[in-house]
Homo-oligomer: A and B are copies of this chain.
């Protein structure tokens, strides 16, 4: 994603396209793997303060510009794409991440709701697979 696209995306979401935010969005677009707060702060260390990273994450997540997912017990962030319902295959050894689609959540949600006494609707879900990648397989 080039700088202008990143800026347009920020403005579309109602934000001022500052240098720091543009760098943040560009970074997420470039790596297209979920990033930890630490990784983001390190990558942007020449550009902005870690405190600003926290503030951007909070604002962008609320605005639906980024998605949060938990990997190895820590929150990670990636750009949110419209209509996107991908999930992660995570290596339990090296934390490598690969996306996959088709989690069948709709059917599972329907079945669970049917059986449930206390719930009336399902609005979202999380689904992740954990295993070993090729290079970590003994």
A15 at the B interface (CB under 8 A): no
Question: Which of B98, B102, B112, B118 lies in contact with A116, CB distance below 8 A?
Answer: B98
Question: Which of B89, B111, B128, B129 lies in contact with A102, CB distance below 8 A?
Answer: B111
Q: Which of A91, A100, A102, A137 has the most CB of B within 10 A?
A: A100
Contact with B along A114-138 (1 / 0, CB 8 A): 0111111111111111111110010
Instruction: Say whether B128 contacts A125, CB under 8 Å.
Output: yes
Instruction: Say whether B104 contacts A91, CB under 8 Å.
Output: no
Question: Which B residues are CB-close (under 8 A) to A73?
Answer: 75
Instruction: Say whether A120 contacts B104, CB under 8 Å.
Output: no
Query: What are 27 inter-chain pairs, A to B, with CB distance below 8 A?
Result: A70-B70, A89-B112, A89-B116, A92-B124, A98-B116, A98-B118, A98-B119, A100-B116, A102-B111, A103-B127, A105-B129, A108-B129, A109-B129, A119-B132, A120-B132, A120-B134, A121-B131, A121-B137, A122-B129, A124-B129, A124-B130, A125-B129, A125-B130, A126-B127, A126-B128, A127-B127, A127-B128
